[in-house]
Amino acid sequence: MSNTYRDSCGAGLENEEEFVDILEERRRSSDLGHALRTFSPHPYKGAESCSNADLNKAVLESQYLRYMAKEIAAETGSSVEEVREEACEILEEMSQNLQLKCIRLMGFTMTKVLKRLYSGIFVNMEGLNMLQQSIQEHPVILMPNHRSYMDFLIISYIMFTYDIPMPFIAAGIPLSGMKLVGELLRRSGAFFIRRAIGSDKLYWAVLSEYVRTIVKTGIAPLEFYVEGLRSRTLKSVMPKLGMMHMVMEPFFKGEVYDITLIPISISYDRVLEESLLAHELLGIPKLKESTMALLKASKVLQEDYGSMHVNFGRPMSVRHLCEGKINRCQYNLVPRDLPQKPSAEVQACVSWLANLMVRVQEEGSVMGPWALMACLLLQAPTIVLTEEGLPWQELTDKTLWLRKLALDFGARLNWPSGQGQAPDTDVMSSTVALHGSVVNRKAGRVFLVQEKEPVRNRPISPEEEMISTAAAVLMLASYRNMSLHIFVRPALLVTALHITKTTQKDELLAFFCFLQDVFSNEFIFIPGNSSQDFEEACFLLKKCGAVHVSEQEVTVSDAGLEVLSFLQALLQPFIDSYQVIFRYLCENEAHVYAEKQFLTAVRNLATELILSGELHTYEALSSDTHKNVLSALQRLDTVTKSRASEQNEYTVNKAAVRRIDDVLSGKIPPQMLHTTPEAKL
């Protein structure tokens, strides 16, 4: 299964091909000239020429919407006209209004901004050329990862520069509410989707028809984030399936011959909103997206953000990917215009594909020295980082060691060839300098940067101090997360070895699967791919000499202790954080929690434990972790969610949670996992 995409269309850029800095030319020639360039893209050959108004009309007049309007009218008791009127309004709120004029304006502004922020924007030309080809052949879906607001228009900017048709971009509705900016985005091709659509049938109907029509007619490439939202942690987010399904449906139903998916990996040396995100994770509410907020944030524009890599992956044919996975005959007996609940087969296929895309995005992402350094910094006790500092020499030595390991594991590293006598040291020095917001280097030691509190009369409370440390740690954790996909599979195996103390391969596999099950909101795995993941982990650990692998056994090698302890420590914060929450759920008397109450309680508990020195990871404070635990427990059927009055409530099956906790702490031997069927959680 895993190999289907690798054979022919993996993201692989095995032969390290050229990344070209597209800002270089902008620095040399006129920005205005660029904005006013002749734009002559080669569109999809089957595309019907169709204005934005035509597109909206086609959507509203579609058989599907007519049918849905009737059905909804019958259900709600309103008239069909009223429903259609409402559909019309939804569409108005949603639809893009791409205009070249606006693209030019945006292009001009962006050139200015990008030049200020980034030392370079590196794009792989081969990927871009393949994209240019693909666009002419089949409808194309651009699927970037989402790490920063910056992602939003960068693809369009590149497409404009290289004469590729401008995409329509799925965006969150809050953006449309921003004065002026919303309209600008709309005219740059953005269309806006509400959050939490829930069971709003009409909204789903309009949205899905809109998306399908774009794909079917191929009037423009469609760009959307399969992760659904911007990752707050710079880690991949579990993909959302709704949009993915809408996009795929025209292929399933034979309305297009094929659809081409273009995975795009955008990687940043330094993310614009790093501190904002860390605070958000600590429960300091996110600023509402508004134009004023954007202007206020403009001070971030004064800083240096290093470079950005945009890696256009190899085009992937949906037809090829779905071969043998979907029996398209299932659509034969019902008119294709009518709503049809997707079969289990279709759902599985869509989910598989979405996860696959995330994996390919991960494989295509480029990480710099900072991601490696962040891993290592986080493994030092926080107190060391805040008080005495980590010796620079130790950090650099360790980083170089880790670089080798990462390369062994197949990482795509952006390690500039520095100048001077010790080029590698220079690279690391400038990396640390770039991330002055997180760490600083003083007297041969590296310290975590604490936020400067406004001078006050009263002393800073321990809690306040902790928040400021936590913000820095979470920023560091985010940068570490950029490298997690490289290490996570071997790290899971190492964790399995460590917890179970067994060497039996089948037991290790069982535990490995268990860990994947528990942490699959944290790290993205392709469903049904566990055995291959396990094999991959064995292979990589063997490759770097950390373990011996035989037919039956995996044994630790003496030479591999450094690798093993690094990998184990890499996942420890996740395990610790999960266990804190598990224990909270088990030991507390209540069975039912309101969402808010739960989140506050968990955060307070974690704060307490950290202050008392019982818990060593600040990541337990991250709301992302809390939400992931809840989702994981729901997925594992140990917690059920219900909607009570204003907010969600969670009912906990304590025995089941306790069992997971026991397995995770090694109290239940892996044989039990293996033998009892219900152990497969």
Partner 1 sequence: MASNSSGGSDRQRVAQQRLRIITGHLQGREDGDSTIIAAECKAEGSQTDVSREEGKTVPRRRQEIMKWNGWGYSDTKFLFNKKGQAEFTGKRYRLSGMIIPALKEWFEGTFGASLQHKSPAAPVLNSGAVQPPTLNEAFLEELKSTGIPFSHDAEDRVYRAHGHCLHEIFALREGKVGRVPDMVVWPNCHDDVVKIVELACKHDVCLIPYGGGTSVSSGLECPTEETRCIVSVDTSQMNRILWIDEKNLTAHVEAGIVGQDLERLLNESGYCTGHEPDSMEFSSLGGWVATRASGMKKNIYGNIEDLVVHVKMVTPQGVIEKSCRGPRMSTGPDIHHFIMGSEGTLGMVTEVTMKIRPMPEYQKYGSVVFPNFEQGVACLREVAKQRCAPASIRLMDNEQFKFGHALKPQVSSMFTSFLDGLKKFYITKFKGFDPDRLCVATLLFEGGREKVLQHEKQVYDIAAKFGGLAAGEDNGQRGYMLTFVIAYLRDLGMEYYVIGESFETSVPWDRVLDICRNVKARIIGECKNKGVQFQPLSTCRVTQTYDTGACVYFYFAFNYRGLSDPVHVYEQVERAAREEILANGGSLSHHHGVGKLRKEWMRETVSNVGMGMLQSVKDYVDPKNIFGNRNLL
Q: What is the binding site for partner 1 (CB under 8 A)?
A: 46, 254-255, 257-258, 327-329, 331-332, 335-337
CB of 254 vs partner 1, minimal distance in Å: 4
User: If you ran DSSP here, which 8-state letter would residue 385 be given?
Assistant: I
- How many distinct helices (H) and strands (E) make up the chain? 30, 17
* Two tokens, residue 250: 């025209």
Nearer to partner 1 (CB atom), residue 179 or residue 328:
328
User: If you ran DSSP here, which 8-state letter would residue 315 be given?
Assistant: P
CB of 346 vs partner 1, minimal distance in Å: 14
DSSP 228-253: SS--SSSS--PPPSHHHHHHHHHHHT
Evaluated on CA atoms 109, 115, 116, 118, the torsion sign reads positive
Name which of 513, 666, 495 is nearest 570 in CA terms. 495
Nearer to partner 1 (CB atom), residue 343 or residue 648:
343
User: If you ran DSSP here, which 8-state letter would residue 302 be given?
Assistant: G
CB of 206 vs partner 1, minimal distance in Å: 21
Nearer to partner 1 (CB atom), residue 204 or residue 257:
257
Nearer to partner 1 (CB atom), residue 46 or residue 177:
46
Q: 193 forms bridges with which residues in the sheet?
A: 172
Q: Are 650 and 641 in contact (CB under 8 A)?
A: yes
* Two tokens, residue 248: 């795929």
Nearer to partner 1 (CB atom), residue 203 or residue 251:
251
What single letter denotes the amino acid at residue 611? L
Pairing, β 592-594 against β 647-652: antiparallel
Long-range contacts for 32-38 (Cβ within 8 Å, ≥24 apart)?
Answer: 32/108, 34/107, 34/108, 34/111, 34/161, 35/104, 35/105, 35/107, 35/108, 35/111, 36/104, 37/161
Pairing, β 592-594 against β 554-556: unpaired
Name which of 344, 293, 348 is nearest 149 in CA terms. 293
CB of 139 vs partner 1, minimal distance in Å: 13
CB of 99 vs partner 1, minimal distance in Å: 27
Name which of 227, 215, 207, 210 is nearest 251 in CA terms. 215
Q: 171 forms bridges with which residues in the sheet?
A: 192
CB of 243 vs partner 1, minimal distance in Å: 23
Nearer to partner 1 (CB atom), residue 318 or residue 446:
318
Count other C-beta atoms under 10 Å from residue 195's C-beta.
10
Nearer to partner 1 (CB atom), residue 328 or residue 680:
328
Q: Are 660 and 638 in contact (CB under 8 A)?
A: yes
* Length of the chain, in residues: 681
Rounded Cα gap, residues 144 and 155, in angstroms: 9
Nearer to partner 1 (CB atom), residue 214 or residue 271:
214
CB of 325 vs partner 1, minimal distance in Å: 13
CB of 5 vs partner 1, minimal distance in Å: 17
Q: Are 487 and 651 in contact (CB under 8 A)?
A: no
CB of 12 vs partner 1, minimal distance in Å: 20
Nearer to partner 1 (CB atom), residue 251 or residue 409:
251
Nearer to partner 1 (CB atom), residue 144 or residue 250:
250
Which position has the token pair 């039990």? 672
CB of 329 vs partner 1, minimal distance in Å: 6
SS3 280: helix
User: If you ran DSSP here, which 8-state letter would residue 138 be given?
Assistant: S
CB of 327 vs partner 1, minimal distance in Å: 8
Q: Which residues contact 607 (CB under 8 A, 6 or more apart)?
A: 463, 466, 621
Nearer to partner 1 (CB atom), residue 196 or residue 329:
329
Backbone φ and ψ for 548, nearest 5 degrees, come out as -105, 135
Nearer to partner 1 (CB atom), residue 8 or residue 640:
8
Nearer to partner 1 (CB atom), residue 335 or residue 436:
335
CB of 63 vs partner 1, minimal distance in Å: 9
CB of 553 vs partner 1, minimal distance in Å: 42
Nearer to partner 1 (CB atom), residue 346 or residue 526:
346
SS3 41: coil
CB of 330 vs partner 1, minimal distance in Å: 10
Count other C-beta atoms under 10 Å from residue 316's C-beta.
25
Q: Are 290 and 179 in contact (CB under 8 A)?
A: yes
Q: Where are the alpha helices (DSSP H) in 138-262?
A: 151-161, 173-176, 181-187, 201-217, 242-252
CB of 339 vs partner 1, minimal distance in Å: 16
Evaluated on CA atoms 630, 631, 632, 633, the torsion sign reads positive
Q: Are 213 and 95 in contact (CB under 8 A)?
A: no
Nearer to partner 1 (CB atom), residue 258 or residue 576:
258
CB of 332 vs partner 1, minimal distance in Å: 4
Nearer to partner 1 (CB atom), residue 255 or residue 662:
255
Rounded Cα gap, residues 248 and 258, in angstroms: 9
